[in-house]
Amino acid sequence: MSRWALPWRGGGRQFVRTGADGMLDVLYPVLVLVRGAGRLATLAKTRWKRTPKERRGPALFLVVACGLVLWLMPYGPLIAVASFVAAAAWYGRERAGEIVEEDEGPGEDELARLQALYEALVPYFAMPDDPHAEPMYAHDGEWGRAFEEFEFSPEGRLSALRLRYPAHFRDGEPEERLRVEQLLAAKSGRGREYRFAWDEERNRLEMTVLAPLLTGIHAQRFVTAPGETVLGFTDGGAVRRTVPVAVAGMDGAVDVPPVVWRTGARSTEPHLLAMGVPGSGTSTLLRSVALQALRRGEVLVVDGDGGGEFACLAARRGVLGVESSLAGALASFEWVVRETERRLLAASRARQVGEQVPEDARSPLWVLVDRPAVLTHLARAEGQRDPQELLQVPLRHGRAAGVSVVVAEQFEGAEDLGQAVRAYTRARVVLGPVTRDQARAVLGEAPQSGPAADTPPGRGFARLGTGPVLRLQVPATPDPYDEAAGEAEREAVRALLPDRPGLDDPDPEAPLPTA
DSSP string, 102-121: E-----HHHHHHHHHHHHHH
Domain CATH for 465 = 3.40.50.300
Q: Is 280 annotated as a binding residue?
A: yes
Domain end residue (candidates: 93, 127, 156): 93
- pLDDT at residue 63, as a whole number: 81
- pLDDT at residue 102, as a whole number: 45
- pLDDT at residue 53, as a whole number: 64
Q: Are 274 and 153 members of one domain? A: no
- pLDDT at residue 510, as a whole number: 47
Q: Are 399 and 272 members of one domain? A: yes
Q: Is 466 annotated as a binding residue?
A: no
Q: Is 282 annotated as a binding residue?
A: yes
Whether 157 maps to a domain, the answer reads: yes
| Distance of alpha carbon 185 from alpha carbon 194, whole angstroms | 7
Element (H, E) at 57: helix 53-72
| Per-position pLDDT tens, the chain of length 515 | 555 555 433 333 333 334 444 555 556 677 777 777 887 787 787 777 666 666 777 888 888 888 888 778 887 788 878 887 787 777 776 644 443 444 556 778 888 999 999 999 999 998 877 666 678 898 888 888 899 999 988 888 899 999 999 998 999 898 899 899 989 988 888 778 889 999 999 999 999 998 888 889 999 999 999 999 999 999 988 898 999 999 988 888 999 999 999 998 889 999 999 999 999 999 999 999 999 999 999 999 999 988 889 999 999 999 999 999 999 999 999 999 999 999 999 999 999 999 999 999 999 999 999 999 999 999 999 999 999 999 999 999 999 999 999 999 999 999 999 999 999 999 999 999 888 888 999 999 888 776 666 788 899 999 999 999 999 999 999 999 999 899 999 999 999 999 988 655 555 454 444 43
Whether 330 maps to a domain, the answer reads: yes
| Distance of alpha carbon 374 from alpha carbon 380, whole angstroms | 10
Whether 278 maps to a domain, the answer reads: yes
Q: Are 144 and 77 members of one domain? A: no
Whether 502 maps to a domain, the answer reads: no
Using alpha carbons, select from 169, 104, 115, 173 the residue that is nearest to residue 141. Answer: 115
Quick check: bond before 7 cis, omega within 30?
yes
| Distance of alpha carbon 323 from alpha carbon 375, whole angstroms | 11
- pLDDT at residue 28, as a whole number: 66
Whether 166 maps to a domain, the answer reads: yes
- pLDDT at residue 200, as a whole number: 93
Q: Are 460 and 363 members of one domain? A: yes
Element (H, E) at 348: helix 326-352
Close Cβ partners of 25 (under 8 Å, ≥ 6 residues apart): none
Whether 501 maps to a domain, the answer reads: no
Residue 15, beta-bridge partner list: 100
Phi, psi dihedrals of residue 288, rounded to the nearest 5°: -65, -45
Whether 216 maps to a domain, the answer reads: no
Question: What is the domain extent for residue 13?
Answer: 2-93
| Residue 440 near residue 402, CB atoms below 8 Å | no
Residue 355: CB atoms within 10 Å: 9
- For the stretch 374-390, what's the b/e string if a residue is b when 16 or more beta carbons lie within 10 angstroms of its beta carbon? bbbbbbeeeeeebbbeb
Q: Are 19 and 46 members of one domain? A: yes
Q: Is 277 annotated as a binding residue?
A: yes
- pLDDT at residue 141, as a whole number: 84
Q: Is 283 annotated as a binding residue?
A: yes
- pLDDT at residue 393, as a whole number: 96
pTM: 0.76
- pLDDT at residue 504, as a whole number: 52
Q: Are 77 and 139 members of one domain? A: no
What sign for the dihedral angle of Cα 147, 148, 153, 155? Answer: positive
Q: Are 315 and 442 members of one domain? A: yes
Domain count, the chain: 3
Whether 363 maps to a domain, the answer reads: yes
| Distance of alpha carbon 460 from alpha carbon 409, whole angstroms | 14
Residue 369, beta-bridge partner list: 302, 407
| Distance of alpha carbon 78 from alpha carbon 71, whole angstroms | 9
| Distance of alpha carbon 495 from alpha carbon 491, whole angstroms | 6
Does residue 276 sit in helix, strand or coil? strand
Residue 213: CB atoms within 10 Å: 19
